[in-house]
Amino acid sequence: MKHLWSICLLFFVMGKAQSQVANVLQTKQLLWLAGWKFHVGDSLHWSQPAYQYQHWEHLQLNKRLILNKHTGTFWLKTNVQLTGQSLESLVFHYYLFNAACEIYWDGAYIDRNGTIGTDVQSEKTGNYTGMFPIPTTLLTPGTHEISIRVSNYHFPNRSLFGRPNIGTTLRMQQKNNQWVLEHTLITTVLGLTILFCVLLFFGLAKNLSLLCFIGFCVVQMLELLLKFYGVYQNINIGLYNTLLDILQLIKILDGFFLVGYLVLEFQINPLKYWLSGALLISVFNHWWAFDHFSILWLMAGIIVTMAIVQKKYLAFVILIGLIGWGFFAYGYPVWGYFWGLVILMASMIVVSILQIYRRAQQQHQIELRTSRLENQLLKKNIQPHFLMNSLISLQQIIHEDPFKAEDMINELASEFQVFSRVAEKKLIAMKDELKLCRAHLRIMEYRKGASFVLETINITGEERIPPAIFHTLVENGITHGYGLKNQGRFVLEKSLHKKQIVYRLYNDGEISPNQKATQKQLIGSGTGIKYIQARLNESYGKKWQMNYGEVDEGWETKIVLPSK
């Protein structure tokens, strides 16, 4: 703000008198030098304090003007008035000087950056930044002339310099510390955010919006890293410019990423148009070199406004972030953009995490509901047919043997009693499961005129298992294995292996040769197996295994459960 103020002052003063003072350095102040005049040509005489240069052309601050108009050797001049304690030690500092230069203080040569030449060959460009102490002997109260001799054959089309400034050594050091601190802080924040989002992406939710967020942060980070490289390594301005060009190209993407993030996060349709629109605008923006930030902010603002209008969850949080960003970027020239960015990113993280949390919750709800529903539906699908088939057998048995019919009704009742007791539970005791299986086998004995036994090995009856899984396997075993046979033996065996409990259910069923080929496929796709899978999923997540297949003279199903 201060230098702006100086510039205003300058404009005001300029028209009036000849030997105007362009800059006044107050105590402890860091002064952005303004009021520059320039003149094409070269004469060391021009550095002399007595030389009248007020008729020189005023240096337009609009960089484009100076870039295209002036190639060659020319001089820049301004002056500064020193007062009080600032006389102890002064440092002249500048950065991003796209030319070779020599600096003179009241006509005395102080230092140079690069070597001034008369063409591209003889000119040697300097480094990204430079800092020249002004000899204390030259520091006296009053007005001093600063002259810079410049040749810009290498980079005629670039802005001439960053902002030359002057201040006491102490103040300059403070400024540098501040710069380093802010730079480090922001880089850290950005870096951690990127890391956090990457972890979030791979660990929790592979959302495209998160990728866009990461992309946006990375582009911003690159800009910081380039500044870091430029300052700390003090690289040649030529190299810096090359890197800057690449960065500008990459920066086309940040509009795309930001818009992408917002559009994806808030599900603003049609997605494709928004994304391609954002990319197009960014490219044009790069081409015409409009203010990058304003366009970016405007695009984001439009989408967030739409999101708010469409009543999207948490859209207002991003709006707060955007306003914060805009406020800082315009209010605090040097690091405001990045501090504002930190606010925006914080709002983006909040939104992303809350969205992920909400989606996870919804997903969980859906899963719970489906698995419940599935269990119920599957059982409903199985039971009536079992009942109908049993009833038709009863119709016959009533005539043949009323006592047997009575017995069968008892078994039916006991099977259904246990069923209704355990169906709603997630885990039941093995003894109840065995009751179910035995009642089922008895009923099937009546129906098929066969005899079945169920033997157990190592089973205590207290084991906890999901309801009706072995019952379902027994049911399957009878359906598929005893078409031709009317004697059956089932064996349920438990064994412990490290951290796992292994149940094996064997039966000596025969598979008719016609069915053999399709048998395994048939069983695997059946409702019964789906029911078992749903139940195991419900209780053990992914920590279970089930295999089934033919073994010697029979069929075996192996279920492996975690022991805890």
Residues 494-513, one symbol each (x = binds other proteins by CB under 8 A, - = not), give ------------------x-
With contacts defined by CB under 8 A, name the span among 2-10, 113-121, 227-235, 522-530 that binds other proteins: 522-530
Residues 399-438, one symbol each (x = binds other proteins by CB under 8 A, - = not), give xx--------------------------------------
Structure-block tokens of residue 279: 């990319």
In the complex, least distance from residue 432 CB atom to other proteins, rounded to whole angstroms: 26
Please give the sequence-ordered ranges of beta strands (E in DSSP) within 431-528, or none if there are none: 451-457, 464-465, 487-497, 500-507
Q: How many Cα atoms within 13 Å fall on the side-chain side of residue 25?
A: 33
Q: Convert 238-275 to b/e letters by CB count within 10 Å (16 or more is b).
A: bebbebbeeeeeebbbbbbbbbbbbbbbbebeeeeebb
**Rounded distance between C-alpha atoms, residue 169 and residue 133, angstroms:** 8
In the complex, least distance from residue 396 CB atom to other proteins, rounded to whole angstroms: 4
Nearer to other proteins, 143 or 527 (CB): 527
Query: Percentages helix, strand, coil for the chain, rounded to the nearest 5?
Result: 55, 20, 25
Nearer to other proteins, 270 or 513 (CB): 513
Q: Which of 1, 50, 309, 484 binds other proteins (CB under 8 A)?
A: 484
- Where does 114-168 have alpha helices with state H? none
Nearer to other proteins, 22 or 397 (CB): 397
**Rounded distance between C-alpha atoms, residue 549 and residue 556, angstroms:** 6
Nearer to other proteins, 133 or 483 (CB): 483
Nearer to other proteins, 381 or 417 (CB): 381
Can residue 451 be called a binding residue for other proteins (CB under 8 A)? Answer: no
Can residue 389 be called a binding residue for other proteins (CB under 8 A)? Answer: yes
Q: Which of 527, 533, 537, 539 binds other proteins (CB under 8 A)?
A: 527
Please list, in sequence order, all residues whose beta carbon lies within 8 angstroms of the beta carbon of residue 254, skipping any fewer than 6 positions away: 215, 216, 219, 220, 282, 296
Q: Convert 288-327 to b/e letters by CB count within 10 Å (16 or more is b).
A: eeeebbebbbebbbebbebbeeeebebbebbbebbbbbbe
In the complex, least distance from residue 268 CB atom to other proteins, rounded to whole angstroms: 44
Residues 158-197, one symbol each (x = binds other proteins by CB under 8 A, - = not), give ----------------------------------------
In the complex, least distance from residue 384 CB atom to other proteins, rounded to whole angstroms: 7
What are the beta bridge partners of residue 147? 77, 104
Residue appearing with tokens 């606010």: 343
Residues shown for the chain = 564
Please give the sequence-ordered ranges of beta strands (E in DSSP) within 436-543, or none if there are none: 451-457, 464-465, 487-497, 500-507
Q: Which of 287, 514, 542, 552 binds other proteins (CB under 8 A)?
A: 514
What are the beta bridge partners of residue 38? 57, 76
Q: What CA–CA distances, in Å, run from 422 to 313, 414, 425, 426?
A: 41, 12, 5, 8
Can residue 530 be called a binding residue for other proteins (CB under 8 A)? Answer: no
Nearer to other proteins, 80 or 523 (CB): 523
In the complex, least distance from residue 450 CB atom to other proteins, rounded to whole angstroms: 7
Nearer to other proteins, 394 or 428 (CB): 394
Nearer to other proteins, 343 or 394 (CB): 394
Can residue 391 be called a binding residue for other proteins (CB under 8 A)? Answer: yes
Nearer to other proteins, 325 or 482 (CB): 482
**Rounded distance between C-alpha atoms, residue 279 and residue 262, angstroms:** 14
Q: Which of 224, 429, 483, 558 binds other proteins (CB under 8 A)?
A: 483
- Whether residue 467 is preceded by a cis peptide bond, meaning omega within 30 degrees of 0, is no
Q: Which of 447, 509, 534, 535 binds other proteins (CB under 8 A)?
A: 447
In the complex, least distance from residue 454 CB atom to other proteins, rounded to whole angstroms: 19
**Rounded distance between C-alpha atoms, residue 495 and residue 460, angstroms:** 12
**Rounded distance between C-alpha atoms, residue 490 and residue 474, angstroms:** 8
In the complex, least distance from residue 559 CB atom to other proteins, rounded to whole angstroms: 23
Q: Name which of 88, 80, 204 is nearest 147 in CA terms.
A: 80
Q: Which of 70, 163, 286, 448 binds other proteins (CB under 8 A)?
A: 448
Can residue 450 be called a binding residue for other proteins (CB under 8 A)? Answer: yes
Nearer to other proteins, 309 or 484 (CB): 484
Q: Which of 486, 545, 547, 563 binds other proteins (CB under 8 A)?
A: 486
In the complex, least distance from residue 410 CB atom to other proteins, rounded to whole angstroms: 16
Can residue 383 be called a binding residue for other proteins (CB under 8 A)? Answer: no
Cα 107 from chain centre = 56
Q: What are phi and psi of 124, to 5 degrees?
A: -125, 120
Task: Give how many residues touch other proteins by CB under 8 A.
Answer: 31
Q: Which of 381, 410, 417, 545 binds other proteins (CB under 8 A)?
A: 381
In the complex, least distance from residue 200 CB atom to other proteins, rounded to whole angstroms: 43
Can residue 525 be called a binding residue for other proteins (CB under 8 A)? Answer: yes
Question: What is the amino acid identity at position 547?
Answer: N
Nearer to other proteins, 262 or 378 (CB): 378
Cα 513 from chain centre = 58
Q: Which of 160, 378, 397, 454 binds other proteins (CB under 8 A)?
A: 397
Q: What are phi and psi of 120, to 5 degrees?
A: -60, -35
Cα 31 from chain centre = 41
In the complex, the residues that contact other proteins under the rule CB under 8 A are 381, 384-385, 388-389, 391-397, 399-400, 446-450, 479, 483-484, 486, 512, 514-515, 518, 522, 525-527
